[in-house]
Structure 1
Amino acid sequence: MQDISGLLHKIRHGLDTQVSVARLRRQRTLADAVGGRVVLLTGASSGIGRAAAVQLGAAGATVLLVARRADELERVVTEIEAAGGRAAAYPCDLNDFDALDAMTAKVLADYGRVDILVNNAGRSIRRRLDESYDRFHDYERTMRLNYFAAVRLILAFAPGMRANGDGQIVNILSLANLYGGPGYAAYVASKAALDSLSTNLQAETHTENLRFTSIYLPLVRTDMITANPVYQQATANALTPAEGGQIICDAIIDRPRRLAPLMGRVAALVDTVLPERADAIRNARFTSGM
């Protein structure tokens, strides 16, 4: 457990350093970035989605909150409005594509556009290959929420962004997309699909003012990790939901193409240059109980 705690500490320090450098260089505030704009966040009823929504509302955005739990969404709306912000709840199970399509149609009917889309909702599954032989549905349901739901949202709101000549799509990915996540193959693969989609769509729209931002988040203390005893004992060095929400806001201010800890980017380089060595390192982490 000491190994994973030390690793999380190094990763967190690297991400903090990158964000701090960007903050020193920036010439605008969150209010400059989102004032008068419509921001839609999925997974907004709790965790980093909720934390980001509160900050965005305080900065002058009209925040549209999407999640399954209507009562929790209404609490976030109340919190934002109590601080003088504007927000609306759109309860929706993103696994239900008919409901998702109805929700996006209503959003466009109500507001006419979405300026910034944050694909934050996600499902994580920890299951080894030998435990997955008869569980193809794990891969299906993970892709359905983490990838296909995000794709439908992008396809719904990107046309308006392109027509307006401005927009940003922020995808919350995992550090495991750079560092490796053995035991989490279904989850990491679904996030990798979204990452690859963003790379290709950004290339298509490179000359337009449409930005695809990939955030490779390390471990965050949310409900998603509660079923994992390894991570439960290593949360001292994990990000808090407030810190994760702040990273989303930083990404909206700075509009980077990618936001990741230095260690993750180095690991991705090693994987490209020395794939066998990278596989051996990941296997050692996996077999030691990570």
Structure 2
Amino acid sequence: MQKYNLLERLLFPPTYFNKKKLSSKLKGKTILITGASSGIGEKVAYLLADIHTNLILVARREEKLSIMKSEIEKEVAKVSIFRADLRNKEEMEELLAFIHRLPDGLDIVVSNAGISINRSINNSLDRYHDFTRTMAINYFAPVQLLLSVIPLLEKNKGQIISISTVNALLIPIPFWAAYQASKSAFDTWFRSAALELNMMGISTTSIYLPLVRTPMILPTTAYLKMPAMCPNHVAQIVCKSMYTKRKKYRPWWLIFGQLTSIFFRGILETYIPNVLRKRREGK
């Protein structure tokens, strides 16, 4: 696990989880992890390696998934890998067919696959595809996946864990229109559906995360020096939710951001354009 500096230790206090409880709760369970070949999905898979589970790892990089399968199965977990781009209709249908053939059904879905785009509107005028591909993986893909597997989860009284972002609960900021719109769309869908899913006996958990030090943030150089969570730490939070069935995780400080978004929205929506205008004029 990466070492946190003083500020990060304050922002991201340690998570304590009981590995014995986790092992007892998950024994014999089948867990699907999307976006499993790197970042949070990869760390969650490795954290479950020494538990008697059946892991289904889904990602686009088959070679990386094969390596993970070999390493994880040196422990006790059993691993099935499925190479798929969830934006591709045929590949999604093949994945769903595979899931529905599972002899014991499905118990937990960790909806983690996603992409991030940091680009101004002015630089997006000829890039409509940025918005369609972001919505495809961050919204339409998880919705399609979950609609198909809900009957399996209902039968096993399973759980859905959504890896979301604090941005979905805050006032939108510049340069992230594609990303924030897609993540907010799925978060709203999931929170709405959760009321019905809970009635059906399916547990739902939303993990609202700040910046996490994963390969996804590398293209944005400004993030390299900003406080960020360690993906191993996030994996502990995700796995802890598998036995606590906690409905949501949010950083302790998010409430202050939400209050700012509510009470100072007008000020922010006036101040930010002025800052951007001066920055643009200064170029």
Unaligned runs of 5+ in 2: none
Note closer, same or farther for the CA distance 1:184–1:83 as it changes in structure 2 (3 Å cut): same
Of residues 225, 229, 240, the one that matches 1:239 is 229
Of residues 240, 257, 261, the one that matches 1:271 is 261
Question: 1:61 aligned to 2:57?
Answer: no
Note closer, same or farther for the CA distance 1:14–1:284 as it changes in structure 2 (3 Å cut): farther
Correspondence for 1:261: 251
Q: CA deviation at 1:255?
A: 1.6
Is the CA contact (8 Å cut-off) linking 1:172 and 1:214 kept in structure 2?
yes
Aligned counterparts of 1:210 and 1:175: Cα–Cα separation in 2: 24
Q: CA deviation at 1:280?
A: 5.6
Correspondence for 1:9: 7
Aligned counterparts of 1:85 and 1:285: Cα–Cα separation in 2: 52
Aligned counterparts of 2:44 and 2:235: Cα–Cα separation in 1: 4
Identity %: 32
Correspondence for 2:89: 97
Per-residue CA shift, 1:25-63, capped at 9, x if unaligned?
Answer: x89721123111000001111111111011123222211
How many pairs align?
Answer: 275
Question: 1:167 aligned to 2:158?
Answer: yes
C-alpha RMSD of the superposition: 2.7
Aligned counterparts of 1:285 and 1:216: Cα–Cα separation in 2: 28
Is the CA contact (8 Å cut-off) linking 2:29 and 2:107 kept in structure 1?
yes
Q: TM-score, structure 2 length as denominator?
A: 0.87
Q: Secondary structure at the match of 1:58?
A: coil
Structure having the larger proportion of residues in helix: 1
Q: CA deviation at 1:66?
A: 0.2
**How do 1:1-290 residues align onto structure 2 when only pairs under 5 Å count?**
9=7, 13-16=10-13, 19-20=15-16, 23=17, 29-164=21-156, 166-179=157-170, 180-234=172-226, 237-277=227-267, 279=269
Unaligned runs of 5+ in 1: none
Q: TM-score, structure 1 length as denominator?
A: 0.85
Aligned counterparts of 1:220 and 1:285: Cα–Cα separation in 2: 26
Q: CA deviation at 1:241?
A: 2.2
Mean Cα displacement is larger for which, 177-186 or 196-205? 177-186
